[in-house]
Each structure stands twice: as structure tokens, then as C-alpha cells.
Amino acid sequence: MKYVLASGSLRRQELLHRIVDDFEILVSNFDEDSVVFNGNVEEYVINLAKGKALSTKECLQEDAIIIAGDTIVVLEDEILGKPKNEEDAYNMLKNLSGKTHRVYSGIVLINMYNNKVEEASLYTEVRISNLSDEEIRDYIITREPLDKAGAYGIQGFGGVFVEGINGCYYNVVGLPLNLLNKMLKKIKE
């Protein structure tokens, strides 16, 4: 069976190699802004992943199992995407400081061999330490926060700010391995 990851994320690619030896990468051209947030975070993150999966399916010339995912950070009912600039990153980190937030992932799999679709979401609670302005500025200088939802990477320098998590660590990195592994088994049945 051929597998296609609908993502250019190096983190997702690295994690997927722990489950699937060989896969192709086809970055989706799906317009994420076309998905409207209606207040239901689980539905929203699944719809983002579904858009990526369906967009990728349209580009394929042969059958495959498509793996698509999206991850968002939510603090007090506000979605924190990737920061637009350093000031935005600073504000996000300042808001996360000393608080617990949730990281949601939506995963959608399409098996083109048998026309099965699997979709699921989950969240992990993450507690961030109280951060000083200097810590935030020093972290932003690393440039790491600028391409991460919520302006931090638990697997990088930002990991030192994480006091604890409740849930799947790999979800916070960007691909919940346990959930994905179960979904892959189910979709091939």
C-alpha cells in the first residue's frame, strides 16, 4: 500500500516514520481560512485536516492511504495559530505564561483502496511556567516560536517552559502517534 502524508511539516514527517516506513509527501494547497470556526474546537480541527486530506486526494493519480492532520492551541476559548510576527509571538507567550491551555489535533485518513475514511481528534493539556519578559524575548530571538501554533515548540527550546502535560506528548509536537496508529489499523480492515 502506498501512503501519502498531506503535510510539509518536518516534525510530522519524523514522527510518521515511527509508524510507516515508506511514504510520500504531498503538501496540501488547502486554504485553511475557508474553514469557519463555529465554537466547536474538535469539529474545527477535524475540518481543517479533512480539507487537507480531500485537497491531496484530488491531486493523486493512483490509490493511496492519505494521512492529514492539523494542530491548534486553545487558551480560554481563543485559538492561537502561528504568530504573524515577533510582537504577536511575544503576546501569545505572555498570555500562556502561568496558565494551562489545550493543544488539539485533528487527524483524517482516507483509504482510496476501499473508500474508507477515519477521522478523530484529541487534546492535551499543557501547563506553562510563569515567564519573565526576558525569557520570552530570549526565546523569540531563537526564531523557534515564529512557525509554531501558540508560539512554542515543546520538542525544542520551548520545552523548558512546560511545567507539565496531561495527555499525549506527541499530540503537542504535532502528530498523536498512539491515535494515528489505531486509526491506521482500523482503516486497513
Catalytic annotation, pick one of 21, 22, 63, 70: 70
Q: Are 97 and 133 in contact (CB under 8 A)?
A: no
**Amino acid present at 72:** I
DSSP state of 151: G
Among this protein's residues, is 22 annotated catalytic?
no
What would the grid cell of residue 140 be? 523569540
Write down the H helix ranges in the chain. Answer: 10-16, 41-59, 86-96, 133-141, 169-173, 177-187
Q: What value does the CA radius of gyration of the chain take, rounded to a whole number of Å?
A: 17
Contact partners, residue 155, CB within 8 Å, separation at least 6 = 11, 173
**Helix 133-141 / helix 86-96 crossing angle, nearest 10 deg:** 140
Q: 122 pairs with which residues across the strands?
A: 105
Query: Known catalytic residues?
Result: 70
